[in-house]
Structure 1
Amino acid sequence: MFDMDGTLIDTQSLISEHMTQTFVGAGLTPPTPAQSRRVIGLSLPNAIATLMGTDDMVLAEQMAEDYRSRYRAMLTTGAEREGFYPGARETLDLLHAQQETLLGIATGKGLRGVHRITQMHGIEHYFSTLQTPDNNPSKPHPSMMLTAMAETGAQPHQTVIIGDTTFDIEMGKAAGTKAIGVLWGYHEPDDLIRAGADILIERYEDLPAAIDQVLEN
């Protein structure tokens, strides 16, 4: 199971820019890029509510819809800014070719965005299950992992979440699965370890061996 933003796709600058525009448009002090980076992985309304320090989910959802509108407007000229991290495509190709391996996505991004990005990169057929906040609670709730396993017939000891944030790691651990933290994303290595990551990797080339390692333990 792969997280998307910060794990497969490098969207940090886009997310920070649109979060700033959304907050300014609402007459609020915008978060810093570092603050925006810390909430990537949560569902969009939860991320906005966290940045505002509020439990007013009605307002957070209104701002989330403004964010989505701004993001959709960008797509006419900025789709090339949603590129893979180095080595990601090659590693996905390798894992997809393994008959014993099923791939899935568990992301805070909406299903519409997941379909658009996977189709843009020609990998929509790689994934047996797509889990998003459209039909699940936000990470770190384990629902995305539990639903993915139910859909595919995989057991927790056969399942790994690969992600860059504590939300990913905590989600996997709450579902009883293994968890691999990647170091090219948005949360610090020490935070990933404290969240329960079984192993950390620095390059996509290291992922296949890391998957074998954690599933053997």
Structure 2
Amino acid sequence: MSAPYLVIFDCDGTLVDSQDTILHGLQVGFQAADLPMPTRSEALSIVGLSLERAFLTLVGPENAHHVELMSNAYRASKVARRKEGLDFDPLYPGARELLDRLKARDDVLLGVATGKARRGVDHMVKVHEMHDLFVTVQTADTSPSKPHPDMVLRAMAETGSSAKATVMIGDTSFDMEMAKSAGVHALGVTWGYHSRERLEAAGADWVAGHFNDLYEGLNRLLDFDKEPA
């Protein structure tokens, strides 16, 4: 068999609806620095970036000295809430069905590329019983923040997949820009944090409005349902 197709998913805003837990963590961070919390839309606009870069984007360079404190407060809050069973991000409708459909194919490998820490991905996997689903997991612990292409490049290196056989699925312009920088297909979704217009402006090759549309988008980009010659 030729090199496998590689389908990489973002997490927050793509696989899981994490807006409430993210907003809670951001609120804790802003309280720790005694800074005013931005509006909901402003706060959620940074989802997808690594934590420090996200806080820096929200507070601006004049408050850069607060970023470490805010990030540490966010992380501590996450750990505490998980121990209490309060940190639960539900899967979007249709997510599990698509993942299982793709996993059942012997020519498709699944991966994750996220601004989360590995600890956050492990929590998602445990809560939603996704063990052995993803063969490559790229996080903010080992790669620069999106839109740097490192996560996608690492995923391809780990799986032996080519750029033309790889697609990045995400809900933000950061995901689309990362995909384009890595030379892979960019598939946007509209149920997360950035608009269709913003996804398309960032280079999305296809934009899905529901998980039911994603398989069609994948097939259009990868052509993996084509009958052999």
TM bucket (normalised to shorter chain) is over 0.9
* Inter-CA distance 55–135: structure 2 relative to 1 (3 Å threshold): farther
Q: Distance in 2 between matches of 1:159 and 1:151?
A: 12
Aligned to 1:12: 19
* CA shift digits 1:108-150 (9 cap, x unpaired): 0000110111122111211010000111000000000000000
Aligned to 2:74: 67
Aligned to 1:190: 197
**Alignment partner of 2:86 out of 39, 60, 78:** 78
RMSD between superposed Cα atoms in Å: 1.5
- What 5-or-longer segments of structure 1 have no aligned partner? none
Q: Distance in 1 between matches of 2:158 and 2:62?
A: 32
Asked if 1:34 corresponds to 2:41, the answer is yes
The one of the two structures with greater contact order (alpha-carbon pairs below 8 A, sep at least 6) is 2
TM-score (norm 2): 0.91
Q: Distance in 1 between matches of 2:63 and 2:134?
A: 35
Aligned to 1:199: 206
Aligned to 1:113: 120
- 1:19-168 equivalences under 5 Å are 19-54=26-61, 59-75=66-82, 76-79=84-87, 81-168=88-175
* Inter-CA distance 197–118: structure 2 relative to 1 (3 Å threshold): same
What stretches of structure 1 move > 6 A for 4+ residues in a row? none
Amino acid at match of 2:192: G
TM-score (norm 1): 0.95
Are the equivalent residues in 2 in contact too, given 1:166–1:195 (CA < 8 A)? yes
Q: Distance in 2 between matches of 1:85 and 1:136?
A: 26
Are the equivalent residues in 1 in contact too, given 2:48–2:114 (CA < 8 A)? yes
SS in 2 for 1:23: helix
Moved more, 199-208 or 138-147: 199-208
SS in 2 for 1:130: strand
Aligned to 1:208: 215
- What 5-or-longer segments of structure 2 have no aligned partner? 1-7, 225-229
Report the CA distance between 1:71 and its aligned residue: 1.5
Corresponding residue pairs, total: 216
Amino acid at match of 2:40: P
* Inter-CA distance 118–57: structure 2 relative to 1 (3 Å threshold): farther
SS in 1 for 2:112: strand
Q: Distance in 1 between matches of 2:28 and 2:65?
A: 19
* CA shift digits 1:17-62 (9 cap, x unpaired): 2212210221111111111111000000000010001276663122
